[in-house]
Amino acid sequence: MKKTTLLTVLILAGVVLGVLVGHFLLRSPGASAAEIAQDTAVWKTIGEFVLMRPLKLIALPLIVTSVTLGIATVGDSRRLGLLGGATVAYYLATMVLASTLGVLLAATIRPGAGIPDDVRRSALEAGQAHLQSVSGVVTPEGGVGGAWMTILQQLIPDNALRAAVNLEFLSVITICIVTGLGLIAIGSKAKPFIDAVEALHEALMAIVRVILWAMPVGVFCLVAWSVGTMGLGNLAGALAKYVLVVMLGLSFHMLVTLPGALALFGRVNPYRFLWRMRPALPMAFGTASSVATLPVTIETARDHGGCSRRASGLVLPLGATVNMDGTALYQGVAVIFMFQAFGYDLHFAQYLTIVLTATLAAVGAAGIPAGGLVTTIIIISAVNSTIAANNPDIDPLPLAAAIGLIFPVDRALDMVRTMVNVSGDAVGARILTRLAPDGPTDDPVRERALA
Ligand code: ASP
């Protein structure tokens, strides 16, 4: 059996076993949420130590080396401009398509109609605690203006060390792009430095290839923990229609929209490509984090998916930070669901606001578990302001209740939307490989030496 096939089989076995163990062994009947959380904590801890921490540790140096090399080895500023422009256009187009699909599905299927009173009441009660538990991750205060400001501050950082220490990946990427441009500007003097960065990058990739073998155990523990704490029963309750609409949208985006884009612009068989990316997808599913998955995404895209080192070095790290198709789609559905559940009638202008702010919120969401849940608050605030402007007598949708309503099933949706986020990044890298192929030797160091 080939090594990648063996790894895939082991990882899938980890996912299936994780679901079974989580559902049948970790959920003792009659236990309270606090007791279940306590009983399952050990699984999360093992998953963190075996997989999440090593990957998170390696993500930062990997982003630094791959983006710096991506820029420095493309070398020609006209080509770089084209690559940058096409990358941003791809990200925005696919995110707008995703959020539009989410809004269309939620507006027509109406998953929030007929939510029972007791579900709304318990959402109101539990909401505040949930809101506090997620809002430590990102501070969404300030609504849409605040979200733009945060993105702008990250795009133009003022302190490289702080950006690295706080894991502000967008800032780190900006710094690496500027460094790469500086290296291009000094021509052959940059060669020793680029060679050193290249060596470090290859060393990190070698480490990633070892960490890959921890995936079956890590994914198993994380899935068991997720299913154990959340409970599959939640998926079948009053929120079932909401879960189904999100899943329907995510499946369509992953199996139709992205493959369509890849076939059209990348001219490769999209399903074969997604199949080759298979180690990265269960990893995204298990960890619910694009950033923790990034090392695996880079390794798989480059070594198996036929993506060039240049395109993947740039498109994947940036994508893990800003390109979140799954999150944009989910946010569109989630916000409409919340308003429907609490009896609000939304109109065309509000749907349009949701499409636009869901795209912005997905750009601003961190590639970590529940990163997209917390940024839905930006969209709710935007819709609340349009409601207040049109009809000041109507009370705004209470944030805590809205979050409390979708919280019980959010981890499951997070696992699936993260898979779609990672697929979107990988498809982008494959399409943009056409604009930034590797050189004839497929080895930037040798290529520069031969130049
Ligand atoms: N967990 C997602 C990711 O890392 C973000 C989200 O919560 O939507 O891509």
69: in domain? yes
252-296: pLDDT as tens digits: 999 999 999 999 999 999 999 999 998 899 999 999 999 999 999
Question: What range does the domain containing 131 cover?
Answer: 3-77+89-450
Distance (Å, rounded) from C-alpha 75 to C-alpha 35?
57
Distance (Å, rounded) from C-alpha 208 to C-alpha 108?
44
Atom of ligand 1 nearest to the CA of 362: 8
The reported pLDDT for the residue numbered 451 is 43
CATH assignment at residue 392? 1.10.3860.10
234: in domain? yes
Distance 227 CA to ligand 1 centre (A): 17
82: in domain? no
Interval 199-221 mean pLDDT: 93
Query: Among all chains, which residue has been given the structure tokens 């498109």?
Result: 315
Stronger pLDDT, 73 or 239, i.e. the higher one: 239
Distance 362 CA to ligand 1 centre (A): 9
The reported pLDDT for the residue numbered 241 is 94
The reported pLDDT for the residue numbered 153 is 87
Residues with CB under 6 A from ligand 1: 288-290, 324, 327, 365, 367-373, 414, 417-418, 421
Confidence of residue 15 (pLDDT cuts 50, 70, 90): very high
Distance (Å, rounded) from C-alpha 288 to C-alpha 330?
14
Atom of ligand 1 nearest to the CA of 320: 9
The reported pLDDT for the residue numbered 228 is 87
Atom of ligand 1 nearest to the CA of 369: 1
189: in domain? yes
Distance (Å, rounded) from C-alpha 98 to C-alpha 326?
7
Contact predicate 423/273, CB 8 Å: no
pTM for the model stands at 0.89
Burial 294-315 (b: 16+ CB within 10 A, else e): bbbbbbbbbebbbbbbbbbbbb
Stronger pLDDT, 182 or 30, i.e. the higher one: 182
84: in domain? no
Number of domains making up the chain:
1
245: in domain? yes
157: in domain? yes
Confidence of residue 408 (pLDDT cuts 50, 70, 90): confident
93-112: pLDDT as tens digits: 999 999 999 999 999 999 99
Atom of ligand 1 nearest to the CA of 327: 8
The reported pLDDT for the residue numbered 135 is 56
Stronger pLDDT, 48 or 392, i.e. the higher one: 48
Residue nearest atom 6 in ligand 1 by C-alpha distance: 372
Distance 368 CA to ligand 1 centre (A): 5
Residue nearest atom 1 in ligand 1 by C-alpha distance: 369
83: in domain? no
Distance 196 CA to ligand 1 centre (A): 33
Atom of ligand 1 nearest to the CA of 368: 4
The amino acid at residue 319 is: G
Stronger pLDDT, 298 or 119, i.e. the higher one: 298
DSSP assignment of 262-291, as one string?
Answer: IIIII-S-HHHHHHHTTTHHHHHHHH--HH
- Is residue 409's pLDDT more than 50? yes
327-365: pLDDT as tens digits: 999 999 999 999 999 989 899 999 999 999 999 999 989
Question: How many angstroms from the chain centroid is the CA of residue 308?
Answer: 21
Interval 311-332 mean pLDDT: 94
Burial of 279 (0-12, 13-18, 19+ CB in 10 A): buried
